[in-house]
A and B are shown apart, each in its own frame.
Chain A
Amino acid sequence: KQEVTQIPAALSVPEGENLVLNCSFTDSAIYNLQWFRQDPGKGLTSLLLIQSSQREQTSGRLNASLDKSSGRSTLYIAASQPGDSATYLCAPGSGNTGKLIFGQGTTLQVKP
């Protein structure tokens, strides 16, 4: 059974800092891995998707890496802004079922 752990659970940083969010998963037989953002009381916004054959994906100030063999993914946020404040969720996907298993998330606060 896939288990997903995200560290840290919460993070507070001053504006402008570069930061790394960590995600680990127990079953390396994943199809892909998605990172999502969730604002309080809202749905999820897809940030990045990494296929199992890829090592990283970039979108703007975000870069996600994947080390499938060690069961790890990181989300790097460059030059953080107050608007980045949200909960970030990591979700590996299993094969053609489309199922996503979510971690508990990292709640990020970026202070002006």
Chain B
Amino acid sequence: SAVISQKPSRDICQRGTSLTIQCQVDSQVTMMFWYRQQPGQSLTLIATANQGSEATYESGFVIDKFPISRPNLTFSTLTVSNMSPEDSSIYLCSVEKGSTDTQYFGPGTRLTVL
């Protein structure tokens, strides 16, 4: 399995500001993922972050709005830029690990934008 931590666990931010979310894994992993869960909705993949390469974004998500860093095999950050109330969501990181490619999720960051 994998133990994943995220910081911050929650935050309340003002419109127009940016927030950087950190994701730390207890072991080295190749693939890390960032998901968004809007209120009352299921999870939507934002991007895949592999160490040493640019993140791959899903349709509807762009690097200018959600820049991602992956400096090593245990850490990644997601920045939510120029926030609006529509960005209020839970943001979760996940990693794929093991011979079965099981995905494990962090506890999430609950973001409220006023």
Contact = CB atoms under 8 A, between A and B. Distances in A.
Number of contact residues on A: which range applies? 20 to 34
Contacts of B42: 89, 102-105
Contact of A43 (B41, B45, B105): B105
Contact of A34 (B31, B102, B107, B110): B102
B33 interface: yes
Given A41-B110, A44-B92, A104-B42, A98 B104 contact: no
Count chain B CB atoms within 10 A of each CB in A89, A100, A103 and give the residue with the most.
A100
A75 to B, nearest CB: 16
Given A43-B108, A98-B48, A99-B48, A31 B92 contact: no
A42 B101 contact: no
Contacts of B31: 98
A104 B41 contact: yes
B96 interface: yes
A49 to B, nearest CB: 5
Nearest to A48: B102
Contacts of A44: 43, 92, 94, 105
A51 B43 CA distance: 21
A59 interface: no
Interface string B84-114: 0000000010101000111111111010000
Majority SS at the chain B contact face: strand
A65 interface: no
B106 A43 contact: yes
Nearest to A87: B42
Contact of A31 (B43, B101, B107): B101
B82 to A, nearest CB: 26
Nearest to B45: A99
A49 B43 CA distance: 18
A41 B39 CA distance: 10
* Nearest 10 Cβ contacts at the A-B interface: A44-B105, A43-B107, A102-B42, A102-B43, A43-B105, A98-B96, A43-B108, A98-B31, A104-B42, A49-B102
Interface of B: 4, 31, 33, 41-45, 48, 92, 94, 96, 100-108, 110
